[in-house]
């Protein structure tokens, strides 16, 4: 019953590495969080994704995603502190 959708998803994801998929999920999650109009939610979400980018050892690709995670970890606390609501 669920074989066809899972095969379609699997064939789609085989074309990309884990870093690219996580980056897409981060962008979609940020767009969804922007609907709440709360910078604190976006900052907390950015911290979590920064940790994920730094801690996932199976991201096969350049160290770009590690550096992205470090950048998100540095920027997110500043955004959280400066958020009004």
Spatial neighbors of 19 by CB under 8 A, at least 6 apart, are: 53, 59, 60, 61, 64, 65
pLDDT tens digits, 65-85: 888 889 999 999 999 999 875
The rounded distance, in Å, linking the Cα atoms of 36 and 32 is: 8
Element containing residue 37 per DSSP (H, E):
none
pLDDT tens digits, 7-66: 887 787 788 878 888 888 999 999 999 898 889 999 999 999 999 988 887 666 677 888
pTM: 0.76
The pair of structure tokens assigned to 62 is 């350049």
Compute the C-alpha angle 31/19/14, nearest 5°: 105
């Amino acid at each position: 019953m669920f074989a066809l959708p899972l095969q379609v998803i699997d064939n789609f994801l085989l074309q990309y590495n884990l870093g690219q998929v996580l980056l897409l999920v981060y962008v979609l999650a940020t767009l969804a969080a922007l609907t709440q109009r709360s910078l604190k939610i976006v900052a907390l979400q950015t911290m979590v994704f920064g940790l994920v980018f730094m801690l996932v050892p199976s991201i096969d690709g350049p160290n770009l995603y590690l550096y992205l995670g470090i950048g998100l970890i540095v920027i997110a606390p500043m955004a959280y502190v400066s958020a009004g609501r």
